[in-house]
Amino acid sequence: MAEAVDHAFETGEHLAVQAGTGTGKSLAYLVPAIKRAMERAEPVVISTATIALQRQLFDRDLPRLADALTGEVPRRPEFALLKGRGNYLCLNKIHSGASESNEDVPQDELFDAVAATALGRDVKRLTEWASNTETGDRDEVVPGVADRSWRQVSVSARECLGAARCPYGTDCFAEKARGTAGSADIVVTNHALLAIDAISEVNVLPEHELLVVDEAHELVDRVTSVATGELSATTLGIAHRRSSRLVDDELAQSFEAATATFASAIYDAEPGRKDFLDGETATYLTVLRDMADRVRSAIDTAPGDPKAAAARNEAVTALNDVSDTASRILSSYGPAIPDRTDVVWLDHEETRSAGKRAVLRIAPLSVANLLRNRLFDQGTVILTSATLTIGGNFDAMARSWGLTAIGDEAPGWKGIDVGSPFAHAKSGILYVAAHLPPPGRDGTGSAEQLDEIEGLITAAGGRTLGLFSSMRAAKATAEAMRDRLDTPVLCQGEDTTMALVRRFADDEETTLFGTLSLWQGVDVPGPSLSLVLIDRIPFPRPDDPLITARQRAVAAHGGNGFMAVAASHAALLLAQGAGRLLRSVDDRGVVAVLDSRMATARYAGFLRASLPPFWATTDSGQVRKALERLRAG
């Protein structure tokens, strides 16, 4: 892999590398990255899926590698960690007194004494911390604070005054981080910031021609998330509160009326994908857009004192977001359905404090063109993950990234699978419970499935990670197993994920149940994890608006929408779930899929081809005996 990455950097050919757990893939791309950065005297950017993975590279992998390379390189390589501006404390917001405002707190929480007190305590603690911190990095706040509290002392990139206009520009934590990144050999960032850099007109990352995307299977979803716009009572309320003090009362009241009318309309509307725009909604959107534009034009943006300038900037940013999103939704209905590039849908979400929350969203049908034009055409990209081949090849991933659309044009791309240090067929069993009835639509397990789960966990003596399609299913199964088993059962949501995983790893008899969000976050080598349970094939919800729109688009062009979108989505998640089992060369165990469709459906072969080459069986008795032997050993 290291040689292939080095060759790609040399030739400019994009490279996709599937590298199984335990291959040392971070070393395989970091060594050639350091080599090239020092030769070219310009940074190589490494993008990871999450800030947690950023820290793993920056705090552990890179310092060890720098020590190991002593004597092999002319100097010690320099590294920088770069996050979005909102992750750094804003000195202007603190010193100008803007942090004392509650403008971003939902209205119902303003009258909650406990919430207000907690917010005040957090802001006071953050203000004191500002005098001592050297980085202003939110991750260094211990214990951490809620998003609501952090927003009182931070700004987004679009809300920032800019170093030249800000009185604290020379001391700005975000600017210092960017300055350090500009002179580093390796810059470690995350997919969200990479997406912002690609989408926005402003360069967020330092100039670079070489990019490594780790956990590349998440790139499309992260870019799609950043490219998604939304309108809700919350976002509209923030725009109104920020702007109402900066314009005359009559205009502020008119804007408030427009936001209230629109919020009421989407609250009463039927949720789901919106293929057609009715006249009433079009009118509300048009009025909302025009009012946001009028209020924005009325705000005096001439330079003034820093506090006033910051307030104006935040108001203008919020108004621009409302206007731009409304305009984007209106214009998306221009083309006929097969030619549309955006999907619009309405969500009704349940919240703890305010009940139902209505959100109108718009997202790109595909980010392939965006990635091709703003990422792959700008330099050489290495994409790597333990799970990139779906159905046995790279085609699905390459299409979603926009690489296949490059066609015969240089520089082109290639994909390689560097294998795994694990002997999957000797170390793991793939068990499909073919005798179980197909899972029901309600998401909860059948009586037969519960019996199967009980028998498997008993045979394993705990040591089980249960991965479920919904939180409801995970909780219901956890409750049922606590009545049936003598060993401890934990469930996601009962503590932080890190704390639960720690307890799971420390006690070999413990079972941990969770949802898809746990699939990529659990790394437990050793005997504490001998059985991975997957309750059903993780197809997307049949009413998922973005997935169904993408399936329809594939079908409109003569393809199989179900296989290209839904089945590929499920195959990737199955591979991620199965990848939790073997984390070291000494690990042994079973991946049990409790969905008989994995043995009987037409697409079963495609799904199994996406999984590691475990020894496969549908014999429940044989699997239980294997688990008992592991437990005894």
**Bond prior to 525 in cis (omega within 30° of 0):** no
What is the mean predicted confidence (pLDDT) over 291-302?
89
3-state SS class at 43: coil
How many helical (H) and strand (E) elements, i.e. helices and strands, does the chain have?
28, 18
What is the mean predicted confidence (pLDDT) over 250-265?
95
522 pLDDT tier (thresholds 50, 70, 90): confident
CA angle 144, 520, 623 (to 5 degrees): 135
Which pLDDT score, from 0 to 100, does residue 51 have?
74
CA nearest neighbour of 570 among 477, 469, 472, 473? 469
Which pLDDT score, from 0 to 100, does residue 109 have?
43
108 pLDDT tier (thresholds 50, 70, 90): very low
Among 126-130, 250-254, 371-375, 449-453, the range scoring the smallest mean pLDDT is 126-130
Look at residue 103 and tell me whether its pLDDT is greater than 60: no
pLDDT, one tens digit per residue, over 482-505 is: 999 999 999 998 887 878 888 999
**Structure tokens, 188:** 């470690």
- List of domains in the chain: 2-84+172-225+367-417 (3.40.50.300), 89-167 (no CATH), 229-363 (1.20.120), 424-632 (3.40.50.300)
Query: How far apart are the C-alpha atoms of 512 and 568, rounded to whole Å?
Result: 27
Look at residue 205 and tell me whether its pLDDT is greater than 80: yes
DSSP 570-626: HHHHHHHHHTTS--STT--EEEEE--THHHHSTTHHHHHHTS---EEE--HHHHHHH
pLDDT, one tens digit per residue, over 437-447 is: 988 776 667 89
Query: How far apart are the C-alpha atoms of 208 and 380, rounded to whole Å?
Result: 10
What is the mean predicted confidence (pLDDT) over 179-207?
88
460 contacts 531 by C-beta, under 8 angstroms: yes
pTM: 0.86
385 pLDDT tier (thresholds 50, 70, 90): very high
Segment holding 379, helix H or strand E: none
The amino acid sitting at 548 is: T
Query: How far apart are the C-alpha atoms of 122 and 263, rounded to whole Å?
Result: 31
537 pLDDT tier (thresholds 50, 70, 90): very high
CA nearest neighbour of 109 among 318, 358, 311, 352? 352
318 contacts 326 by C-beta, under 8 angstroms: no
- Position with higher pLDDT, 167 vs 470: 470
